[in-house]
A and B are shown apart, each in its own frame.
Chain A
């Protein structure tokens, strides 16, 4: 599957508290969470993000709390894939589990700027920055984690393998 979208660019150590602040965690409704996504570092995001846009972060993206509300809020905002230099492990796990692909490309991420148009082949991990012409390769997901991603998340995977 190939995705194409405009980049929302964030820096290093984007923690789950800024992705979805705890004051909104008295709900777990994805649509409601999406209206507050990123608000503490980017008030423009929730009101302007378009379905298909792509989120790109730096190192240690999603660090901090285990709140699954974070990848859920991003996904419910219309973002189909997150790219980062590296992910914090609980966020990475949660993203795969809720069916939000997370691609890790190391320091190459620095070449991607806000507003760039990316084309991403989710099957091969190939990323083309159509604005600059740069191409990047994300390593494929290992073993059965790929099966979880292909099933659209852990629940589907568990139900299918029953």
Chain B
């Protein structure tokens, strides 16, 4: 039986000839990742094992969630990570001022690449599937053990084939593609499985779209989401990965548990209503929903292209008087490039607050917490109850074009409604 892309990457890292869904295997890891929330408990577990780190060049410690430190306790967490990184000479530790949101930063810096097997103590580690690697989220104990052994166990997943056709209309982003898919299959539709994206439609998605889509594989319950490596991937990696990388392709007779068809040409801008990402509705099919806040950024939509899309809509417009709009570039590089391109000036002229890179509001950490009864359109990835603050506040998930249009009009809106 043929193997999927995911299965073939697992095989290469397990030192076996083949695998089938359900097999339990142990794999060698190319990169292990933790952040300022998940690294401290991982370090505590690591210390119980009493071994040195397996490879200081294959560990990434990225303080991005509560940094710049939001309070005294968070400063304590950041210090644990900093001290550990220094003690063990961790290559990929990034301090405030250089750090970005982990899943924006690692691909940008060439720390993750096609064919690599990455685990991260962060559920959105699945983002790197956009590059054609296998990456998945784990907890802190798995991470602590991985820092000592360089290994982790996996149950080999079955896969759903997400077959893409057509090309997306101008007002559609990767976010609309993914929210539509999650709406179709549900938040546990891919539980214990891979989402493998195939078909001619893949070529119509730029790398930013693919990062957004792979990032939210976890929101369908998936173990990972993965794209084939094509000309766009190779162009993206040019100059980023000096040591080269491995291009893995699915077998022609790979087995998929099911196939889901999406014709990109038919997609419309969507939002996911509270309190699950599967509550997807097409804009225009519901009445006016007034909003109090907009967040543009995160590991899902904090890349340069996302900011360009938002800035193009803000040009010549102001944020609605009743709305606070917070824009968070995903990395210092994204921030700098957005500044050079004039996007930051456009945001500030429109009346947006622009922040240094942080996960901040996405998980209700800081930098945009809501009180009871408030509503936010956000380009982030989760709209669970209380996710961005008070348990009676609401998050509506959308792409950057919808977020910008909504900020201008003070209600959930499609970009074409901005005149």
List residues of A whose CB falls within 8 A of some B CB. Answer: 13, 15, 17-18, 21-23, 25-28, 40-41, 59-60, 63-69, 71-72, 86, 88-90, 93-94, 97-98, 142-145, 153-155, 158-159
Contact = CB atoms under 8 A, between A and B. Distances in A.
Interface string B363-378: 1110000000000000
Contacts of A155: 45, 48-49, 141, 144-145
Contacts of A159: 48-49
Contact of A66 (B38, B223, B276, B386): B38
A110 B155 CA distance: 28
A66 B364 contact: no
B138 interface: yes
Contacts of A25: 37, 65-66, 365
A64 B221 contact: no
Given A63-B221, A72-B41, A94-B142, 11 more contacts: A13-B187, A22-B364, A28-B40, A40-B385, A40-B391, A64-B382, A66-B123, A90-B137, A143-B24, A153-B141, A158-B145
B332 interface: no
Given A27-B73, A89-B221, A155-B145, A60 B187 contact: yes
Nearest to B222: A89
A13 B65 CA distance: 24
Given A68-B38, A88-B188, A26 B363 contact: no
Interface in B59-73: 65-66, 70-71, 73
A41 B275 CA distance: 13
Contacts of B356: none
A155 B44 CA distance: 11
B94 interface: no
A93 B73 contact: no
B384 interface: yes
Contact of B24 (A22, A64, A142): A142
Given A13-B276, A26-B71, A27-B73, A93 B142 contact: yes
A18 B364 contact: no
B73 A26 contact: yes
Contacts of B125: 66
B73 A90 contact: no
Contacts of B187: 13, 60, 63
A113 B73 CA distance: 39
Interface residues of B, number: 52
A64 B70 CA distance: 23
A160 to B, nearest CB: 11
Interface in B347-364: 363-364
B153 interface: yes
Interface in B28-80: 37-38, 40-41, 44-45, 48-49, 65-66, 70-71, 73-74, 76-77
Most buried by B among A28, A142, A145: A28
Most buried by B among A66, A67, A144: A66
Nearest to A60: B188
A154 B145 contact: yes
A46 B391 CA distance: 17
A68 B364 CA distance: 17
B141 A97 contact: yes
A21 B384 CA distance: 10
B71 A60 contact: no
A60 B385 contact: no
List of 9 A-B pairs having minimum Cβ-Cβ separation, nearest first: A94-B139, A68-B139, A26-B73, A60-B188, A97-B141, A66-B123, A66-B137, A22-B363, A40-B386
A28 B191 contact: no
Interface in B111-147: 120-123, 125, 137-142, 144-145
B249 interface: no
A17 B274 CA distance: 14
